[in-house]
Structure 1
Amino acid sequence: MGKTIWELDFYSRPIFDENQKKMWEVLICESPLDVTRSPDSLFRYAEYVDSAEVNSLRLRQALENAIAQAPAPPNKIRFFRRQMNNMILKACEDADIPAAPSRRTYVLDRWLEDRLANFYPQQPGYDPAAARAANVQFPASTVIPLPETVKGDKTDKWSFVSLEAAAFEDMSEWDIAFGEAFPVEMMDVAPDARIPGFIVYSPRAMPMAAWMSDLEMSFLQFEAGNLPKLRLETGASDSWSLANLTTPQTVAEGEGFEIAKAKANGIHFFAIQSNPASESFAGFWLMKSS
């Protein structure tokens, strides 16, 4: 049996009950984890919760209801809403399920967007003003260097690259030690679209990839300014300095990376190899930024 990860949201919706109280909802969906999963095969679960019952016990009950209907229980749960951190962690702990704040809730994000646009407006008690106020903002974080234990030495190299979206159809056959992916077509990208990426070549490729595999790998972001750099965003708000872009050429490559990301609906990848001649990857993560 393979690993199963769920993405979870527990929050108020733009729907009011007969007492003019906002309805709350538990949304759960399965993370695809690799390129072979059909979006239609991913488990999904939705349950409304009365505003007077918003607590960890009620959330745990909803989790148990979802598990009873799911093909397999989750090995881990991801959630993005910082203000619900304590309640979600408590409910998952009581249900004996590891949980982690994460911005790698790509399927859940798209599902929420669809429900806000198409589902909630059709429900009794819907309030469009409440829907407009539902945007989620992530706080800016301080960029920190990678730990010395995983950083390579001066022999490390890196490169901005790109692949056609169709190339990821065979990703399940690639030799990858650590990583995670999703079906590219799920993100509305054409097969001939160019997907930008960033590869690090390091003699410490395997320790670096192993360490990163314990993070909630979210997305890469070029940061301009006095000290241009490429950041690795993980968890709910962690930000790591992945590479300093110190020349006009590398700054231009970083800017081009962001342009290519936008053209690919935010999809990009991060890879780690021991050297450019290697036919295997110590790490490979397909990612998406908003």
Structure 2
Amino acid sequence: MMAQIVWQADFYRRPLRDAAGQTLWELLVCDLTRTVEFVALCPQSQVNAHWLVEQLQHVADKMPDTIQVFRPQSLSLITAAGEQLGITVEATRRTDALKQWLQERSSLYRSMDNYTGEAYDLLTLEKPPPTPLPEKLWGEQWRFAALSAKDVEEAFQERPIPILNMPPALMPLQLGLASNIAIPGVIIYGGRQSMRLARWLQEANPVSLNYIAGAPDGLVLEAGLVDRWIVATFEDREVSTSAQNYEQRKQQSKGLHFLLVQPDNSDITFSGFWLLRQD
């Protein structure tokens, strides 16, 4: 079976203007190793899917199977171009190669003659305030937990879990974590809503689950490209201490953590398991 060809792409306005004073949009396309890198500039008046289709056909000899996109403002145009070319477009925050390239290019614009002088951050996306989970999905209980990296690798892959999301890139071994490192996580006991909650989470596309100190403290799920959901709030000092330990463990596990949804604490049936990583 041939390996899938995956590109990562960004198409959005930059702090640049053309000779006519029009804002310029920049298309960046790379593969996962940045062996392929492609750059094209487009005046704002010409920004459309047709222009993108033409450019994508010049990136490399072989078209990709998938184009990954992290910026919401780029998604609809690249998706439209992908449909015309028969390419799957995947919305994901995990575009590490592209983000590294964008970081490197950030200082480049300032040296260009057509730089507008405006402050510009290529990677920061505007995120809405977190929204409470729909009430019908609330689980009955939840708790912090931890598993060894070895258990994460072995315990869930062989189990008949309806929704299992363990991307190879997030496996502890792939991240270079020792087998005895504790991987922190959150377990939600969903009761009768367990499967419904798991299906909703899968559709939401979880990225990371973070402790946010406040009044009250809370757990916020980062999902999709910019979505944020309040999973739980709490004022109990003991729970807050556990939450701080959870965040400390995340630092030791290179940001890797997990979310497990199950009906109850019998550990017989599981509804969904996700490996997550703070981006």
Q: TM-score w.r.t. structure 1 length? A: 0.71
The answer to whether the Cα contact below 8 Å between 1:45 and 1:66 also exists between their aligned partners in 2 is no
Paired position in structure 2 for 1:84: 74
Percent identity of equivalent pairs? 26
Counterparts in 2 of 1:257 and 1:92: CA distance versus 1, 3 Å: same
Paired position in structure 1 for 2:116: none
Does the residue aligned with 1:50 lie in a helix, a strand or coil?
Answer: strand
Paired position in structure 2 for 1:147: 134
Q: Which amino acid aligns with 1:149?
A: K
Q: Which moved more, 1:81-90 or 1:60-69?
A: 60-69
Where structure 1 has 5 or more consecutive residues not aligned to the other structure, the ranges are 13-20, 30-42
CA offsets per residue over residues 62-84 of structure 1, 9 Å max, x none?
Answer: 379779465xx34xx54212342
Find the structure with the greater CA-based Rg.
2
Answer yes or no: is 1:262 the counterpart of 2:247. no
Where structure 2 has 5 or more consecutive residues not aligned to the other structure, the ranges are 13-23, 112-119
Paired position in structure 1 for 2:114: none
Counterparts in 2 of 1:5 and 1:269: CA distance versus 1, 3 Å: farther
- What is the aligned-residue RMSD (CA, Å)? 3.7
Does the residue aligned with 2:204 lie in a helix, a strand or coil?
Answer: coil
Counterparts in 2 of 1:237 and 1:167: CA distance versus 1, 3 Å: same
Paired position in structure 2 for 1:32: none
Counterparts in 2 of 1:221 and 1:281: CA distance versus 1, 3 Å: same
From 261, 264, 273, the counterpart of 1:272: 261
Does the residue aligned with 2:78 lie in a helix, a strand or coil?
Answer: helix
The answer to whether the Cα contact below 8 Å between 1:100 and 1:235 also exists between their aligned partners in 2 is no
Q: Which amino acid aligns with 1:181?
A: M
The answer to whether the Cα contact below 8 Å between 2:38 and 2:59 also exists between their aligned partners in 1 is no
Paired position in structure 1 for 2:223: 234
Counterparts in 2 of 1:220 and 1:178: CA distance versus 1, 3 Å: same
Paired position in structure 1 for 2:152: 168
Q: Which amino acid aligns with 1:231?
A: V
CA offsets per residue over residues 214-256 of structure 1, 9 Å max, x none?
Answer: 1221110111111211011111221111111230011111111
From 181, 192, 196, the counterpart of 2:166: 181
Structure number with greater CO (CA < 8 Å, separation at least 6) is: 1
From 51, 57, 70, the counterpart of 2:50: 57
Paired position in structure 1 for 2:180: 192
From 27, 30, 37, the counterpart of 2:30: 27
* Aligned length in residues: 252
Distance in 2, matches of 1:257 and 1:184, equals 17
Does the residue aligned with 2:268 lie in a helix, a strand or coil?
Answer: coil
Distance in 1, matches of 2:224 and 2:5, equals 15
Counterparts in 2 of 1:95 and 1:135: CA distance versus 1, 3 Å: same
Cα distance, 1:275 vs structure 2: 1.1
Does the residue aligned with 1:9 lie in a helix, a strand or coil?
Answer: strand
The answer to whether the Cα contact below 8 Å between 2:198 and 2:271 also exists between their aligned partners in 1 is yes
Distance in 1, matches of 2:8 and 2:72, equals 12
Cα distance, 1:169 vs structure 2: 2.4
Q: Which amino acid aligns with 1:243?
A: A
Cα distance, 1:100 vs structure 2: 5.5
Q: Which amino acid aligns with 2:81?
A: A
Answer yes or no: is 1:9 the counterpart of 2:9. yes
Distance in 1, matches of 2:173 and 2:110, equals 33
